Amino acid sequence: MDSLQEVSDKWLKLKVQVRGEVVEFSVSDSGKPLSKEVREKLFVPFFSTKDVGQGFGLGLATCASVISLQGGQIEFVDSAPNTTFLIRLPKVLKMEPPPFA
């Protein structure tokens, strides 16, 4: 949502598809395009394009960790016309009891 603050035509698109045993989520927005330098660091913990005090740079790194723990993947789609992330998760997620149970 932060990336949409600088554009006049604000939109966010979520597309969900089931492909066999995998569910794909495509998330796109109309925000400004990401530079090559930013794209290379998207999933690096504590990397942020925000000003100091405006964020921790943990959003995408945390998403990637949680998705990975569930047997999935997240990637930035270079070939998309707008900023787009593709998330793939198995239809059946790993369910483990909490450590305190």
CA distances from residue 66 to 21, 49, 71, 74, 97 in whole angstroms, order as listed: 19, 22, 9, 10, 16
Mean pLDDT on 65-81: 93
Rounded to the nearest integer, the mean pLDDT of the chain is 87
Instruction: Among 1.10.1740.10, 3.30.565.10, 3.40.1190.20, 3.30.200.20, name the CATH number for the domain at 2-90.
Output: 3.30.565.10
What whole-number distance in Å separates Cα of residue 86 and Cα of residue 26?
5
Q: Residue 97 — pLDDT band, cuts 50, 70, 90? A: low
Residue 48 and residue 57 in contact, taking contact as beta carbons nearer than 8 Å: yes
Entry pTM: 0.81
Comparison of pLDDT for 67 and 31, the residue scoring more: 67
Q: What are the sequence ranges of the domains in the chain?
A: 2-90
52 has a pLDDT exceeding 70: yes
Question: Tell me, what's the pLDDT at 2?
Answer: 67
